[in-house]
Structure 1
């Protein structure tokens, strides 16, 4: 994914079937270490109980937004791995850009 999109792309590793702890084939430590070594986010989830399923999307979206705001990811650049679903959303601005613009409009 990093070769085809962006080196700064956000990738999350979800260990599913958290509810079947007795049948575990990969330990939490192994998966966590793998994620850390490969610069991935990591959460254990359960599709059956819903545990951490929504949280995985929330954390991933939050990290993407932080990278956009910091300038690490540019949604306007082809190959960034990010697309806006609605053209109106393209008006989003990072806090730095918004501050600079409001400073220019200020009469002080």
Structure 2
């Protein structure tokens, strides 16, 4: 899809511990096929995809892949204030990554301005059922307590990958329409790329029609 015809740009970040599969999720969604496991992310890397919303305009998604290692936190924190959506990602086979989700959420919330940030909790690597140690029920309970939805994904089998990003994008668009999110000068979370075209009535003298007397 032509990104040049998009009306808005939404900046979305993926946050979570190292090795939970954030890069794999992003590359799967962006259609980047590379053999083998991706290298660990250093700092922040960007991807993009244009999307036609079912009940809205075309939007460009600027997707931020962030490093999960503590030594990169000073870099990744600087991006929190300029995102409108966040996928909080944990590995369903890694209990510690699930237990750290609340810390990631609090870290983002502590940096936010007046605009609302839309979150989605993502349990990744759902194809590894034999080594799973976080149940769907407890993940749903955590999501509810934090005021967000929950979804399980697998980049390996492409399970719910598009749906996760599309669900978050739809929620951002709805919040924008309802006024919970506003366009602000200098804020990178939502940017207006193209204004909606309003047809102009040609100016000039109108020829009188036939007399209806």
TM-score scaled by structure 1?
0.71
Structure 2 unmatched ranges of 5 or more = 1-107, 197-213
Rounded Cα–Cα distance in structure 2 between residues aligned with 1:39 and 1:10: 10
Higher helix share: 1
Structure 1 runs of 4+ aligned residues shifted over 4 Å read: none
Task: After TM superposition, give the deviation of residue 20 of structure 1 in Å.
Answer: 0.9
Q: Distance in 2 between matches of 1:77 and 1:28?
A: 40
Measure the CA separation in 2 of the matches of 1:16 and 1:22.
14
Contact preservation (8 Å) 1:2, 1:8: no
Query: 1:77-96: CA deviations, max 9, x gaps?
Result: 655x6232x632xx25xxxx
Q: Which residue of 1 aligns with 2:190?
A: 83
CA distance in 2 between partners of 1:40 and 1:78 (Å): 27
Cα distance in 2 between the residues matched to 1:78 and 1:4: 16
* Aligned residue runs from structure 1 range 7-26, under 5 A: 8-26=116-134
Cα distance in 1 for partners of 2:119, 2:186 equals 18
Other-structure match for 1:28: 136
Flag the structure with larger Rg: 2
- Could you tell me how far apart the structure 1 residues matched to 2:135 and 2:122 are? 13
Secondary structure of the residue that 2:165 maps to in structure 1? helix
Alpha-carbon distance between aligned partners in 2 of 1:26 and 1:77, rounded to the nearest angstrom: 41
* RMSD value, Cα: 2.2
Shift of residue 12, structure 1, vs aligned partner: 1.0
Structure 1 unaligned blocks of 5 or more: 93-108
Structure (1 or 2) with the greater strand fraction: 2
Give the aligned partner of residue 48 of structure 1.
156
**1: CA distance, partners of 2:149 / 2:186:** 24
